[in-house]
């Protein structure tokens, strides 16, 4: 595997950054997870836009332009001969001193890993996930805002540990008011009486690119959508449920906190949306190999 670091390609074993990089010392940096499908980098421009927004929010100057980052992502896929897979694009604050002041980090670092990813066991996509609500709440918007895709995922990791301890693969995080925010690396959707609902972004969630794509697919299919505040009650009484994320794609949920969702099987609207989403991945995105 060839890894891109600051304009150079390194073999996996030699792809190293400094132990003084504030990305490591403090989780100071931002990232994106991006998929390639059928020789296209799906939604690359949306991911780069979000990367620049995250960086702006933490006053991090990305040392490359959007065009340069686009080329670097394409080149890293080509260097690895990948037409399908997963890109991890990282911008760290860079090498600094042991104090946390980012002014001591003169040069941010850009890292691009092109590989593959599998988040959940494949059978889950057929049978659906069983998940739980966990005690760890989503970050408050006035702390590290959940819209910032930062390198500090400890909030999500704590929730994932709580899910692991409960013997399930995912966790619903509520916000501090008790409304559903999102899962550890996915946005949440429920369907009730034919209406597709996903929590309002103001409940505290990443502005998911898969979430947006699914809302577009629903509109194209004529499925009504809304973005309300969702409590656990609305989740428990829903007919269908699924999670969305670049790595997870669309994963059906069939049980929440011991309550069976719908008839306990992935539902028909979920299936339609999965098909519509798959069709989009064939058409949309930056071509890798001409």
Catalytic residues: 149
Quick check: 206 binds ligand PLP (CB under 6 A)? yes
Long-range contacts of 63-67 (CB under 8 A, 24+ apart): 63/107, 63/108, 63/110, 64/110
Segment interacting with ligand PLP (CB under 6 A) among 106-114, 161-169, 205-213, 234-242: 205-213
* Count, residues near ligand PLP per rule CB under 6 A: 15
Contact predicate 106/26, CB 8 Å: no
* Four-point Cα dihedral 268, 269, 270, 274, nearest 10: 100
| Shortest Å, Cβ 214 to ligand PLP | 9
Do the bridges between strand 129-133 and strand 171-174 make them parallel or antiparallel, or are there none, so unpaired? parallel
Q: Which is nearer to ligand PLP, 79 or 229 (CB)?
A: 229
Q: What is the three-class DSSP state of 15?
A: coil
Quick check: 208 binds ligand PLP (CB under 6 A)? yes
| Shortest Å, Cβ 254 to ligand PLP | 20
The H-assigned helical ranges of the chain are 22-26, 44-57, 66-79, 124-127, 154-165, 209-221, 232-236, 268-283
Q: Which is nearer to ligand PLP, 156 or 175 (CB)?
A: 156
Contact predicate 239/191, CB 8 Å: yes
Quick check: 244 binds ligand PLP (CB under 6 A)? yes
Q: Contact letters (x/-) for ligand PLP, 144-173, by CB under 6 A?
A: ------------x-----------------
Segment interacting with ligand PLP (CB under 6 A) among 68-76, 103-111, 238-246, 272-280: 238-246
Q: From residue 84, how far is each of 36, 116, 117 by CA, in Å?
A: 5, 8, 10
Quick check: 211 binds ligand PLP (CB under 6 A)? yes
Residues forming beta bridges with residue 244, ordered by sequence position: 187, 250
Segment interacting with ligand PLP (CB under 6 A) among 161-169, 178-186, 223-231, 273-281: 178-186
Q: Which is nearer to ligand PLP, 72 or 144 (CB)?
A: 144
Q: Which is nearer to ligand PLP, 244 or 270 (CB)?
A: 244
Q: Which is nearer to ligand PLP, 82 or 171 (CB)?
A: 171
Residues in Cβ contact with 115 at an 8 Å cutoff, skipping those fewer than 6 apart: 1, 80, 82, 85, 86, 87, 88
| Shortest Å, Cβ 12 to ligand PLP | 23
Burial of 200: CB neighbours in 10 Å, binned 0-12, 13-18, 19+: middle
> What residue ranges bind ligand PLP (CB under 6 A)?
33, 156, 182, 185-187, 205-206, 208-211, 244-246
């Amino acid at each position: 595997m060839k890894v891109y670091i600051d304009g150079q390609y390194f073999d996996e074993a030699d792809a190293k950054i400094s132990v003084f990089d504030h990305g490591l010392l403090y989780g100071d940096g931002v990232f994106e997870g991006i998929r390639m499908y059928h020789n296209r980098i799906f939604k690359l421009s949306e991911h780069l836009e979000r990367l620049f927004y995250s960086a702006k929010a933490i006053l991090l100057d990305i040392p490359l332009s959007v065009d340069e980052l686009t080329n670097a992502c394409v080149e890293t896929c080509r260097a690895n001969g990948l037409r399908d897979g997963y890109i991890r694009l990282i911008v760290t604050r860079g090498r600094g001193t042991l104090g946390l002041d980012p002014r001591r980090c003169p040069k941010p670092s850009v890292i691009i890993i092109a590989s593959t990813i599998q988040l959940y066991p494949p059978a889950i996509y057929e049978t659906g996930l069983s998940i739980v609500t966990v005690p760890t709440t989503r970050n408050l918007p006035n702390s590290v805002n959940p819209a910032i895709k930062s390198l500090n995922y400890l909030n999500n990791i704590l929730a994932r540990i709580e899910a692991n301890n409960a013997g399930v693969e995912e966790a619903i995080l509520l916000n501090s008011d008790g409304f559903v925010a999102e899962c550890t690396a996915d946005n949440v959707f429920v369907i009730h009486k034919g209406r597709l609902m996903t929590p309002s972004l103001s409940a505290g969630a990443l502005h998911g690119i898969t979430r947006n794509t699914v809302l577009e697919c629903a509109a194209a299919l004529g499925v009504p959508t809304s973005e309300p505040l969702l409590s656990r009650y609305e989740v428990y009484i829903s007919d269908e449920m699924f999670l969305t994320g670049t790595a997870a794609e669309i994963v059906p949920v069939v049980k929440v906190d011991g309550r069976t969702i719908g008839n306990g099987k992935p539902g028909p609207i979920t299936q339609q949306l999965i098909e519509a989403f798959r069709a989009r991945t064939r058409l949309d995105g930056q071509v890798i190999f001409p």
